[in-house]
Chain A
Amino acid sequence: MSAESPPPSEWKDRTWRPFVEGHPERAQEFLTSGGIPVEPMYSADPASEGAGEYPFTRGIHPSMYRGRLWTMRQYAGYSSPAETNARFRYLLEKGQTGLSVAFDLPTQIGYDSDAAEAMGEVGRVGVPINTVDDLDALLAEIPIDSVSISMTINSTSSILLSLLVALARRRGVPASKLRGTFQNDILKEFIARGTQRFPVEPSMRLVVDVIEYCQKEVPAFYPISISGYHIREAGSTAAQEIAFTLADGIAYMEACRDRGLDLVSVGRRLSFFFNSHNQLFEEVAKFRAARRMWARICRDRFGLDDDRACQLRFHSQTGGSTLQAMEPSNNVVRVTIQALAAVLGGTQSLHTNGWDEALSLPSEEAARLALRTQQIIASESGVADCVDPLGGAPFIENMTDSIEQEALSLIHEIDERGGMLKAIRDGYVRRAIEDSAYKSQLDQDSGKTTPIGVTRDGEIPEAPFSVDPAVEAQRKEALSTHRAKRDQAEIESHLNHIEAAASGDSNLIPVMVDALEAGCTLGEICTTLSRVFGEFQDHG
């Protein structure tokens, strides 16, 4: 260091002050309950990189939650579009700041509610959406030009995007005003979640079609949310979760590059989705390591020289697999610890699980308590008043380094195998996750890690929520009315256009939008696509 060593507040002067001039913080000053002032960020070496500076270990924004709290985004959906609309409006009324749609499995895999494959599944784990009318009912009285909408949709994301564009046209909303996120992450479906409909290559083409179309027509949308959540739920370790997710991210960046898309624009609209489990410090370190690793991947592998393109933005959700069916109210405490980890780790948005979700979908009361948990952390705990409050602690910094090292060596292994697509196809990724899952189950069985309140003959209470099985029949009837009033020749002609487009290499979204506007359904489009693409087959 030179004789004129930098003043101790260097990060504050260099990055924080210029930022807050344009983006005022929530308060003029932040004080503890006893009146002690809280600095924006603490660091043993004020000259070292801080929040808002590459590689963003300490956070992507200089003021983080002092500027704006994370988005509280509860995932919901069940039964019918109208019933889910009622739950959405209830959550918005209680102060939720974004919507997150859970679709039923037939919609996720590309079957209409009246398909044979949909039997017993309609409206069970989410809402069925087959037509523009369905999406209109789901979002009734919700302003789609101001409320951001996240959709957990993957193999059929291209169709949900097309439905949303068609709905925006119907309502006279410019597509450029639509805000939200499509999960659109097909690789983790092959790895861990299981809703893939088509083989890997055509699935990847559809992912890139969505990214490309959004870049041009729906620029305020995040067209992909690369997800480690389900990888962790399938039993991975924390390091595997981020390694496999970032490796998926690399595969998507490569696919976008092959399509000829501008990677800076792509990078600026990528988002991620991680899990938050019980081990608080391990989770915080994981989020910090993931941010740093992704920034370096963008700069070193893809040559991106743009801060926003290198920033890892992420949604997080508390760990569903950590919830216990025995003494389920204990789950409130687990969810609180996990939510705290996500916030201390610098998440951009958060879903907190309902305490009763090991039993069924959450009851309304449990969904409210889950949201209240976030609000209490945000408003009453003071943790949102200081950026990366655990950063700098030797334990956290060492843990961040250790997780990063382990994840880097896993990504190296995937590179050696010829990239993520090959590593998925040769079974490496699933095997690695399954080994971790088996080990953790044996640890639990042996009593080493048995959750509190769980015993061999403990009682499981009744499920608090159930979906009315009559929904399936109602949906069938509504679809049959819908089909009857269409011009069949027009429908056939639209589906033929889709088939022709799928056989070529043009973007499929425009023809899908036209088809859906004319009354085609999600199931009809997927059946058409499968004639060209083939169907995924699982052989166990």
Chain B
Amino acid sequence: MARSGPIRILLAKPGLDGHDRGIRLVLRALRDAGMEVIYTGLRTTAEQIVKAAIEEDVEAIGLSSLSGAHETHFVEVSRILKEEDAEDILLFGGGIIPQQDIESLQKAGFDHLYPPGTPLEQIVADLRQQLRPGERENDNA
């Protein structure tokens, strides 16, 4: 099932949160690592995010929230993905996610939840490992 060629990612900020420093850094780091990244901007709904992900044929969706509304929005994206039979799209997230919420988000499909300050190369490495497991480090660059 693993694809080849550049990894395609959608980054999004669901809900009303305006903190976009982190997601914009991730956007830049993923692009610098040779990935094709779409960022949908502030205040996108779960429906819009899933629709864009399917239309753009991405392999993973990265969500960011620093306003405490992650449970509502992250879980909603995961639910709609299932509804649309698009569960093969990988989910990851970042922001201020309390430790006590991580387990339930992992159950909803978010394998990695990155706190502020996570080294950018770690996010790049995790995505490569999950999406291009057979390839060596700089194959996408």
Which residues of B have CB within 8 Å of A462?
98-100
Within 8 A of A (CB), among B19-43: 19-21, 24-25, 28, 38-43
Could you list 22 examples of A-B contacts with CB < 8 Å?
Answer: A105-B15, A105-B18, A111-B16, A117-B16, A117-B43, A189-B18, A194-B17, A234-B21, A235-B21, A235-B25, A325-B117, A359-B96, A359-B98, A360-B68, A434-B25, A437-B21, A437-B25, A442-B120, A451-B117, A466-B98, A467-B68, A540-B38
Q: Is the CB of A460 within 8 A of B25?
A: no
Which are the 10 A-B pairs with shortest beta-carbon distances?
A: A194-B18, A120-B72, A463-B98, A538-B41, A540-B41, A124-B68, A105-B16, A540-B39, A120-B69, A538-B42
CB distance from A443 to the nearest CB of B (A): 11
Question: What 1/0 mask marks residues of chain A from 434 to 447 whose CB sits below 8 Å from any chain B CB?
Answer: 10011001101100
Does chain A have a CB within 8 A of B109?
Answer: no
What separation, in Å, do the CA atoms of A235 and B117 have in the docked complex? 12
> Closest approach, in angstroms, between the C-beta of A398 and any C-beta of chain B?
30
Interface size of A by CB at 8 A reads: 46
Using a CB–CB distance below 8 Å, which chain B residues touch chain A?
Answer: 15-21, 24-25, 28, 38-43, 67-69, 71-73, 96, 98-100, 115-117, 119-122
Q: Across the interface, do B42 and A121 meet the contact criterion of CB distance under 8 Å?
A: no
Convert A345-385 into 0s and 1s, putting 1 for each residue whose CB lies closer than 8 angstroms to a CB of B: 00000000000001111000000000000000000000000
B72 CB contact (under 8 Å) in A119, A442, A445, A460 = A119
Q: Is A461 an interface residue (CB 8 A)?
A: yes
**Which positions in A face B, CB cutoff 8 Å?**
105-106, 108-109, 111, 117-121, 124-125, 189, 193-195, 233-235, 321, 324-325, 358-361, 434, 437-438, 441-442, 444-445, 451, 454, 456, 460-463, 466-467, 537-540
Docked-complex contact B120 and A441, CB < 8 angstroms? yes
Chain A proximity of B64: nearest CB distance (Å): 12
Find chain A residues with CB under 8 A from B38 CB: 540
User: How far is A538 from B67 in the complex, measured between Cα atoms in Å?
Assistant: 18
A434 with B16, Cβ < 8 A, contacts A120-B69, A358-B116, A467-B68 known? no
Which residues of A lie under 8 Å from residue B120 when comparing CB positions?
A: 441-442, 445
Q: Which residues of A contact B117 (CB under 8 A)?
A: 324-325, 444, 451, 454
- Inter-chain CA distance A444–B25, complex, in Å, is 13
Q: How far is the CB of A457 from chain B (nearest CB, A)?
A: 10
Within the complex, what minimum Cβ distance (angstroms) separates B11 from chain A? 8
Q: Is the CB of A194 within 8 A of B68?
A: no
A-B Cβ contacts below 8 A, count:
100
Known: A194-B18, A195-B18, A445-B121. A460 touches B42 (CB 8 A): no
Chain A residue, CB-CB nearest to B65: A120
**A423 to B122 CA separation, bound complex (whole angstroms):** 34
Q: Known A-B contacts: A460-B115, A463-B98. Give 17 more (CB < 8 A).
A: A117-B16, A119-B72, A121-B69, A125-B67, A194-B20, A195-B16, A324-B117, A358-B96, A360-B98, A434-B24, A434-B28, A437-B21, A437-B25, A441-B120, A445-B119, A466-B100, A538-B41
Q: How far is the CA of A65 from the CA of B3 in the complex (A)?
A: 65
Chain B residues with Cβ under 8 A from A119's Cβ?
A: 72
Of A124, A360, A461, which contacts B69 at CB under 8 A? A124
- Tell which of A118, A360, A454 touches B96, judged by Cβ atoms closer than 8 Å: A360
On chain A, the residues within 8 Å of B67 by CB distance are 105, 121, 124-125
Q: Enumerate chain B residues within 8 angstroms of A466, measured Cβ to Cβ.
A: 98, 100
Residues on A with beta carbons closer than 8 Å to the beta carbon of B116: 321, 325, 358
Residue in chain A with minimal CB distance to B101: A463
Chain B positions within 8 Å of A358 at CB level: 96, 115-116
Of B17, B20, B72, B96, which one neighbours A105 at CB under 8 angstroms?
Answer: B17
The winner among A109, A441, A539 for most chain B CB atoms within 10 A is A441
Assembly CA distance A136 to B116 (angstroms): 37
Distance in angstroms between the alpha carbons of A445 and B24 in the assembled complex: 16
Residues in B with CB closer than 8 Å to A120 are 15, 69, 71-73
- Residue of A with least CB distance to B73: A120
CB of B41 within 8 A of CB of A121, answer no
Bound-state CA distance A121–B13 (Å) is 13
Tell me which residues across on chain A come within 8 A of B17, comparing CB atoms: 105, 194
Closest to A461 in B: B99
Q: Which one of A437, A442, A463 contacts B24 once the chains associate, using CB atoms below 8 Å? A: A437
